[in-house]
Amino acid sequence: MTHTITLIPGDGIGPEVMHAVVRILTATGVKFEWETVLAGAEAFEKYREYIPKALTESIERTRVALKGPITTPVGEGFASINVQLRKQFDLYANFRPVRNLPHIPTRYPDIDLIIVRENTEGLYSGLEHEVVPGVVESLKVMTEKACTRIARFAFEYARKNQRKKVHAVHKANIMKLSDGLFLRCSRKVAQEFAEITYGEHIVDNTCMQLVMNPYQYDVLVMENLYGDIISDLCAGLVGGLGLVPSANLGDHCAIFEAVHGSAPDIAGQNLANPTALLRSALLMLRHIGEAKAALQIRNALEVIYRHRDKLTRDVGGKAGTSEFADELIAEMNSPTSH
């Protein structure tokens, strides 16, 4: 069977890490047909559209995309393409597993956290306007529908995967209406899952608790902006942004991408770690029913991560992006890896 997948290379380090990941995926023997489409500034130059029609049509057809990071200008310019894609396809659940890899020195071993981030509303939507010169307004819109479905996603994931606890992360002491609604919806859903312990922590305290004792958490569910910030914090717990994957999931389609951005500071230098995008691709492989191939890559990754010299610089190695992919493919093809 051939899987047709929309491939968005992205910009910055996107094309480099994507090239490495596609080579690794191809080495599994699974057959892919990639529909490669541009998005963001590059697409605008070519088609005068940030999200070209070809991209929308491709995702509507394939229902699965693998995506590199896309740069969003800071403090000016066009709105985030990443946010727009999540909204356009109603990819309401951003699923971010945070786990250690062997032999990467970190403050804590054996971290195993799941971050579930609401992906379609909240302050992160960037609904802003200037009221009068010198006064701006940024709107935080929250709905019962979105709060309930993200809470339900977190609890259903916990139940299916034998996880013990779900914590709702909030700031309802200050945002009594918006985060208050989020908590009310979470509490209501929690009642349907008696076997799972439900807890609530205020977001600033959660940051401190994660740094002091991350083992107290299991599944964390939160609104969009807190999810953005907390997932980078958690990436730092396991060795950095080069390692942490994510899946944007809706009822009809899914986009798999790393947690990290386009890393302009290292773009075009063969320095980026493709592991985060690769782990996102492993989530994609399981999503399309290719769990065996996902396991094959995961096993090879675990072996490669025992050899510091085969790793990229962000995790203490010396290899470039493409050499890392070469080493991983060699490991996948080695007789001992089967």
Pick from 81, 82, 150, 139: nearest CA to 115: 150
Part in contact with ligand NAI (CB under 6 A); list of ranges 21-29, 53-61, 174-182, 261-269: 261-269
Residue 257 interacts with ligand NAI (CB under 6 A): yes or no: yes
Min separation Cβ 279 and ligand NAI, Å: 11
Segment 203 to 242, residues that bind ligand NAI, using CB under 6 A: 241-242
| CB nearer to ligand NAI: pick between 172 and 255 | 255
Task: Name the nearest CA neighbour of 98 among 255, 254, 268, 218.
Answer: 218
- Three-state secondary-structure class, residue 139: strand
- Per annotation, catalytic residue among 46, 53, 204, 251: 204
Minimum distance of ligand NAI from residue 60's CB (angstroms): 20
Q: What is the DSSP letter of 289?
A: T
Largest Cα separation within the chain, whole Å, is 68
DSSP state of 319: B
- Judged on CB neighbours under 10 Å (0-12, 13-18, 19+), 137 is exposed
β-strands 112-118, 93-99: how paired?
antiparallel
Using an 8 Å Cβ cutoff, are 6 and 62 in contact?
Answer: yes
By CB under 6 A, residue 248 contacts ligand NAI: no
Rounded Cα–Cα distance for residues 124 and 140 (Å): 8
Q: Are 168 and 186 in contact (CB under 8 A)?
A: yes
Q: Does 228 participate in catalysis according to the annotation?
A: yes
Number of residues forming the site for ligand NAI (CB under 6 A): 21
The question of whether 318 is a catalytic residue gets the answer no
Other Cβ atoms less than 10 A from the Cβ of 139: the count is 13
Asked about 145 being catalytic, the answer comes back as no
Place of tokens 């509507």: 60
The interface region with ligand NAI, picked from 97-105, 145-153, 198-206, 270-278 by CB under 6 A, is: 270-278
Contact between 40 and ligand NAI by CB under 6 A: the answer reads no
Angstrom distance (rounded) from CA 143 to CA 123: 12
Contact criterion met (CB below 8 Å) for 203 and 170 = yes
Closer residue to ligand NAI in complex, CB, 9/69: 69
Instruction: Decide if 204 is catalytic.
Output: yes
Among 6, 94, 248, 273, binds ligand NAI (CB under 6 A): 273
> Which of these segments, 87-95, 109-117, 259-267, 322-330, binds ligand NAI (CB under 6 A)?
259-267
Restricting to residues 49-108, which ones interact with ligand NAI according to CB under 6 A?
69-72, 82
CB of 15 to ligand NAI, least distance (A): 12
Cβ distance to ligand NAI smaller for residue 172 or 317: 317
* Residue 85 beta carbon to ligand NAI: minimum distance, rounded to whole angstroms: 9
Footprint on this chain of ligand NAI (rule: CB under 6 A) = 13, 17, 69-72, 82, 241-242, 257, 260-266, 272-273, 276, 314
Residues designated as active site = 124, 171, 204, 228
